[in-house]
Amino acid sequence: MIYFDNSATTKMAPEALETYSQVVTKIWGNPSSLHKLGDRAHGLLEASRKQVADLLGVNTDEIFFTSGGTESNNTAIKGTAWAKREFGKHIITSSVEHASVANTFTELENLGFRVTRLPVDKEGRVNPEDLKAALDKDTTLVSIMGVNNEIGTIQPIKEISEILEDYPNVHFHVDNVQALGKGIWDQVFTPRVDMMSFSSHKFHGPRGIGILYKRRGRMLMPLCEGGGQERGLRSGTENLAAIAAMAKATRLLLTDEKEKADREYAIKEKISKYLAGKPGIHIFSPLKADFAPHILCFALEGIRGETLVHTLEDQDIYISTTSACASKKADEASTLVAMKTPDAIATSAVRLSFDESNTLEEADEFIAAFDKIYQHFAKINHLGE
């Protein structure tokens, strides 16, 4: 089997699974309980929080545990909008965000907030000057993803941060679900970033657990009330086993990070060079420093993305389509649509996404399998004639 769909989810690391199992069976007390079983659980909870904070280079009290990237995004965006609504109801995002951001902005728009969605260029990147022009006295939030989940564009987080230095009261949220552990941390995080979202299952941790980074002094309204866990921001008994396993997965991820990212890039480079210049092939993830090393999106004219996915699946090769094949309603994030890619090409797009477990030998196998498909469809569609 060749699995090139790691941006959708990753296989849980054996070490993380072992941690999960050990905690479930041996440290099963409620971290809020006053007795020694609760104390032991609370100690592990806070040790996990400190480990994550240290690995990310932030303060321990700036890390909050959630159920995943969607909840982290919703908490950052809705929490800001409602906490700061008396100061202004203008919020800004891009036109290429993940659905958990895009649909949240649409919901707030329906509730009376004024939303600006920044356009993108032909590489799916926002122009910082467009952000500068959009900011006004009523702006309370800017939410721009670090790495695009469809084509891998790295957004200009540094330049945006510089602009927002002149707007200290505006919250700056970055969805970094696709960015962690890819050797690009200095491109997607600055001291001006107030909030970041992460999801454990994107880096070999368990599903159903995630991280919200919230900078000290930034106030958010919680999405739900309860027993006051996570310092009142995210009530509900903590999923301790998943949290500890995620902390382990984070440490493993960031060990030899550059070497792993280089391996992923080598696979992307090999497949990209095979695809380059072929009639009917459109590559949306170029081999450039401002694109993530692990995502390769391309289209083969004349074959729908889902058809190619299933054709490769029959050969035990797993990839994905992009949301360009889904609805184009305003609340659906689609990078290729926002880039004004023609429908016939956008609906043919597929995404390959790699991790450190993939190999160049797998890239060779993919190329061999895809080449047969390409030759077949190229003949049918008269490509290159």
Active site positions, annotated: 325
Task: Write the CA distances from 371 to 203, 210, 218, 274, 322, integer angstroms.
Answer: 30, 38, 52, 9, 21
Residue indicated by tokens 């990237």: 69
Distance CA 206, CA 193 (A): 26
User: Do residues 246 and 13 make contact, with C-beta atoms less than 8 angstroms apart?
Assistant: no
SS3 161: helix
Q: How many residues does the chain have?
A: 385
Q: Which residues contact 345 (CB under 8 A, 6 or more apart)?
A: 282, 299, 301, 336
Query: Furthest-apart CA pair in the chain: how many Å?
Result: 77
Q: For residue 135, which phi and psi values (nearest 5 degrees)?
A: -65, 140
DSSP state, 13? Answer: P
Residue 26, exposed/middle/buried by CB under 10 A (0-12, 13-18, 19+)? Answer: exposed
Q: For residue 339, which amino acid is it?
A: M
The secondary element (H helix, E strand) that includes residue 114 is strand 114-118
CA nearest to 252, candidates 180, 190, 184, 360 = 180
Q: Other CB atoms closer than 10 Å to residue 377's CB: what's the count?
A: 18
Phi and psi dihedrals of 67, rounded to 5?
-85, 0
**Residue 205, token pair as written in the block:** 């941790």
Question: Measured between alpha carbons, how far is 297 from 313 in angstroms, rounded to an integer?
Answer: 17
